[in-house]
Structures are given as structure tokens and as C-alpha cells.
Amino acid sequence: MGSKVSNIRNHMARVLRDHWWVRQDVPTQMTTPARRQQIAAGARDSFSAGLGIFPLGIALGLLVIQADLPWWLAPALSLSAFAGSLELLLVGMMATVTPLAAVTLTVLVVNFRHVFYAFSFPLHLVKHPLAKAYAVYAMIDEAYAVNAALPEAERSAPRLLAMQIACETYWVGGGLLGVALGAALPAPIKGLEFALCALFTVLTLDAFRSRRELPSVLLAVASVAVAVVLAPSVALFTALLLFVALLTARLALTARRPAKDAAGA
Amino acid sequence: MPSTSYLIAVLVIVFTITLALRAIPFAVLRMLRTSAIVRQLSVWMPVGILAILAVTALRGTITAEPHTTLYALLAVAVTAGTHLAFGRRSILSVGIGTTVYVVLVNAF
């Protein structure tokens, strides 16, 4: 009997705590129009990413046909890997029947960068387990980037998921279009892949909201400069690793100072 | 042409590793969520990661077509300029920047 009462009390405490959290950061009691608005906002977020993703998808489809691989490989790769740079790399490896061990190693190295996204990807906004699983599966560079550039108050689960679903649609759709064009078009328009570069430039500007961000940007630029010189073939991965190391050092340095800062202020 | 079973094996490997790399850190971080270090890193990381992605994407474009280095740098400047001058509309900035690059690459 006593344990039953305490169970109920625990449950109530949990409910209260959960609701407190909910009201703090996610409006789960979202009304239908508000929800629809968030989904529309997510679709809008995806447009600029789509400018980069869709042409890249077309390039993937074209490449699959040029490499004499079956057409269904384009959508199958987009769904199973869902990581642009890796897919383009894999088409070449599959065409030459690269050993599976080498494929495994390549995937590990090229996609290892996603490990670093977990620190700041707002997965806690997504409550439903299936939606959570999808958000993790669809955490591509572009989805991470578009979301990271948003102010925290404007993020929500419907907005995030709508953007991710849209991005995946662009990928698969672009790939299918590329497959279809593969036979028809002699040479696709050159240079469209620059959209990805433009997208990341714009998102960096958006995330740079105050001078407080300056140290992070400088450390990142230093990391990527060193990485490009020392490890040009795995520059992205090396740069991220260095960046985390430098931030950790920064943390260690600032942790020792707060008392002094407070005294100075 | 590679056998279908080989292609399927690659797809399975790719799916498993990619998903694991994306999912496992969340499981680890959930245990560390209250850690002040993790919290501070999550504040500092996004802008830096975006800058790193921007630089490596630019470098990818340049290494794929080395003779377009100048066009790429110019297009990045146009993208950033458009973004700051015309009210931070991403689609407009990305669209204009990409158009500049495509036109330059195909015209010269």
C-alpha cells in the first residue's frame, strides 16, 4: 500500500517535472494552426538547402548511370546512406567492386563527423520515439546546419522534422531525375554544386549573431587551416577533431578565470 | 557489372555505420547532459562547425576545378554580400551566389 502511494507520488512528480520542461522549451500542446505554421516554416527552411541538395542528387543519378550501375542504386543509396559526399564516393567504389572492408573503413572515416553534431543538435525537442529515430537518421550536414543557424526560440519538432523530410525528398527526387536525365542529356550544367558552398557561407553568417561567437569562429578557422595543410584527404574530419580539442582547451582556460573576472567587474 | 548481392551488402554496411555514428553519441551524451562541459561545448560548437563546413565545401569546389578558384572566391563574396545587404534571405543569397559561379564557369 505504502509503495503504491509512493509510486503515485513519483508519477505525479514526474508529470509535473515533464510539464515544467514542456512549458520551458517545447509547446507540445501546440494547436493545429500553430503546428501547421511550424511545418510551413520547416519547409521554407529547407528551400535554401534544397538548392544545394537537389543538383547534387541529380549529379548522383547521372553518376550511377555513367558507371553502368543499375538505376535503383541512386534512390537506394540516398535512403540507406543519406549523406551526399559519401554517396558520390561510393558510386565509384561500387563500380570497381571495392572490397567490403575498404568500403566499411571509408564510411567510418567520411561520416565520423556526425559524432560531433550530437552536442548541439536539438533532439530533445522531438518527443515521439519514431520521430526521434527519424531525426537522428536524417541528421545530414545540411539539416544540422540549417537548424544550427536558427535562434533557439524558433526551433520546434514539427519545423525540424518537416525540414528533414523535405531534404530527403530533394535527395531522392534529384537522384531519380539524374537517372532519367542520364540517357537524355549529353552534359549537365557545370558548377551547380557550388550551391552547397554558398549555403554553408550563408548559414555561418546567420549563426554569427554577436561578438561573443568570435573566439569559436577563429578557433574553427585555425582548425580547418591546419587540417587542410596536414591532412588534405580527411580535412573535414581532422578540422572537427582539432576544433573540439581547441574548445576543450578554451574551456579549461576559462574555467580557471571566473573568480578573477568577477573581481575585475 | 557488380553482382546485386554485392550492391546490397554495401547498402547494408553503409546504412548500419552511418546510423550508428549518428545515434550512439546521443545515447552517450544523454548520460552527460547535466555536465557543464557538454553544455558549454554545445553553445560554442555550432558557429564553428558551420564555418568549417563552409571552408571545406569551398575547398572541395576549388580542388575539383582548380582553374575556377577566382570565380569561387568571387561567388562566395557575392553570396555573403547579398546576404548582408538584402536582409538575410538565404534562398536569394544562395541563388545569386550560385548563379554567379555557374555563369562564370560556363562562360570562361
Digit-coded pLDDT (tens) for A145-165:
888 888 888 899 999 999 999
Same domain, A109 and A154: yes
**pLDDT for A28 beyond 60:** no
Which pLDDT belongs to residue A187?
Answer: 64
Within 8 A by CB and 6+ apart from A151, the residues are A209
Percent of chain A at pLDDT > 90 equals 29
Do A98 and A128 fall into the same domain? yes
Number of domains in chain A: 2
Q: How confident is the model at residue A22 (pLDDT cuts 50, 70, 90)?
A: very low
- The pLDDT of residue A25: 45
The answer to whether A142 touches A49, Cβ cutoff 8 Å, is: yes
Q: Is residue A51 part of a domain?
A: yes
Mean pLDDT of A181-209: 79
Q: What is the pLDDT of residue A79?
A: 92
pLDDT in tens, A63-78: 788 778 899 999 999 9
Residue A265 confidence (pLDDT) above 50: no
pLDDT tens digit sequence for B5-42 = 999 999 999 999 999 999 998 888 877 767 777 778 87
pLDDT > 70 in chain A, percent:
83
Q: What is the mean pLDDT of chain A?
A: 81
Chain B environment of A207 (Cβ under 8 Å): 46-47, 50
Contact A48 B15 (CB under 8 A): no
pLDDT of residue A19: 44
Reply yes or no on whether the pLDDT at A26 is more than 70: no
* Domain match, A147 and A199 both: yes
Pick the residue with more confidence: B42 or A230?
A230
Does the CB of B15 have a partner CB in chain A at under 8 Å? yes
- Per the model's pLDDT, the better-predicted residue between B56 and A88 turns out to be B56
Per CB-CB distance under 8 Å, the chain A contacts of B42 are 119-120
* A239 three-class SS: helix
The more confidently predicted of residues A42 and A112 is A42
Give contacts of B53 with chain A, Cβ < 8 Å: 141, 145, 200, 203-204, 236
- Give the separation between CA B33 and CA B81, rounded to whole angstroms: 38
Residue A20 falls inside a structural domain: no
Nearest CA in chain A to B80: A202
pLDDT of residue A11: 56
Does B14 contact A107 at a Cβ distance shorter than 8 Å? yes
- A84 vs B84, which has greater pLDDT? B84
* Of A188, A209, A230, the domain-final residue: A209
Residue B57 confidence (pLDDT): 86
Q: Are residues A137 and A234 located together in one domain of the fold?
A: no
- Inspect the interface and report whether the beta carbons of B44 and A247 lie closer than 8 Å: yes
B35-62: b or e for each residue (b if 16 or more CB lie within 10 Å)? eeebebbbebbbbbbbbbbbbbbbbbbb
Q: Do A216 and A204 reside in the same domain of the chain?
A: no
- Tabulate helix, strand, coil % of chain B (nearest 5): 90, 0, 10
Among A187, A209, A231, identify where a domain stops. A209
Q: Are residue A72 and residue A101 in the same domain, yes or no?
A: yes
Query: What average pLDDT does range A198-203 have in this prediction?
Result: 87
Please report whether residue A11 resides in a domain.
no
Asked if the structure places residue A221 within a domain, the reply is yes
Task: Look at residue A235 and tell me whether its pLDDT is greater than 90.
Answer: no
Q: Which domain holds residue A144?
A: 32-209
DSSP conformation class of A124: G
Evaluate whether residue A49 is within a structural domain. Answer: yes
Note whether residue A19 is domain-resident: no
Round to whole Å and give the CA distance between B29 and B22. Answer: 12
Q: What pLDDT does residue A177 have? A: 92
Report how far residue A97's alpha carbon sits from residue A101's, in angstroms, rounded to the nearest whole number: 11
CA–CA dist B33, B1 (Å, integer) = 49
The answer to whether residue B68 neighbours chain A at the CB level (below 8 Å) is yes
Q: How far apart are CA B49 and CA A113, in angstroms?
A: 10
* pLDDT at A16 (0 to 100): 45
A16 lies in some domain: no
Task: Give just the sign of the alpha carbon dihedral B88, B94, B97, B99.
Answer: negative
pLDDT score of A10: 58
Q: Which of A214, A151, A167 is nearest to B88 (CA)?
A: A151
Whether A204 and B51 lie within 8 Å, measured CB to CB: yes
Asked if A189 and A250 sit in the same domain, the reply is no
Which residue did the predictor score with more confidence, A42 or A233? Answer: A42
Locate the chain B residue with the closest alpha carbon to A188. Answer: B106
Q: What is the pLDDT of residue A264?
A: 40
Q: Residue A105's pLDDT is what?
A: 79
What value does the mean pLDDT take over residues B57-74?
90
Q: Which pLDDT does position B40 carry in this prediction? A: 83
Same domain, A253 and A234: yes
B-chain residues within 8 Å CB-CB of A121?
26
- Same domain (yes/no): A172, A87: yes
- The model's confidence at residue A30, banded by pLDDT at 50, 70 and 90, is low
Give me the mean pLDDT over the A45-53 stretch: 85
Asked if A166 and A63 sit in the same domain, the reply is: yes
pLDDT score for B32? 76
**What's the pLDDT score for residue A258?**
58
- Is 60 exceeded by the pLDDT of residue A144? yes
Angle between helices A235-255 and B36-64 (to 10 degrees): 150
* Residues A176 and A242 grouped into a single domain: no
Chain A residue nearest residue B53, CA to CA: A200
Question: Which is more confident, A259 or A245?
Answer: A245
A166 contacts A51 by C-beta, under 8 angstroms? no
Identify the band that residue A188 occupies on the pLDDT scale cut at 50, 70 and 90.
Answer: low
Pair (A94, A176) in one structural domain: yes
Half-sphere exposure of B66 (CA within 13 A, CB side): 0
Using a CB-CB cut-off of 8 Å, the residues of chain B touching A204 are 47, 50-51, 53-54
d(CA A65, CA A178): 8
CA A43 to mean position of chain CA atoms:
16
Last residue of one domain, picked from the residues A174, A192, A209:
A209
